Amino acid sequence: MSPNPAMVEHHDKCTLTYFNWFEDILKQGIEKGEIHPNAIRLSKGLFVLGDGIFVAGTKSSISLDIKEEINNYIDALFEFIEVKK
């Protein structure tokens, strides 16, 4: 069974919207000198990771606090990419 073309198109549109959203957030931090310029390369990965944690938390019997897991990951990541002043 192949996926519904309209659903694939909708999913692609949503995915690009989120990629762009994360990229814009990172660009703002870079322009303010708050985070390292290479952080822009993380925009798609941040979305994919968040999406994966959400799926793992809703489709398995493992108990995850999805918001806490994503926040912990992003906080740790920003410790590495944040420009120290």
The answer, yes or no, to whether residue 56 has pLDDT greater than 80, is no
The answer, yes or no, to whether residue 54 has pLDDT greater than 80, is no
How far is Cα 82 from Cα 55, in angstroms, rounded to an integer? 28
Residues 6+ apart with CB under 8 A from 20: none
Quick check: helix, strand or coil at residue 39? Answer: helix
Can you tell me the mean pLDDT for 47-75? 79
Task: Provide the pLDDT confidence category of residue 33 given band limits of 50, 70 and 90.
Answer: very high
- Please tell me the total count of domains within the chain: 1
pLDDT of residue 31: 96
Give the residue from 12, 45, 40, 10 showing the smallest Cα distance to 26: 40
* Domain containing residue 16: 5-81
* pTM across the whole model: 0.70
pLDDT of residue 36: 92
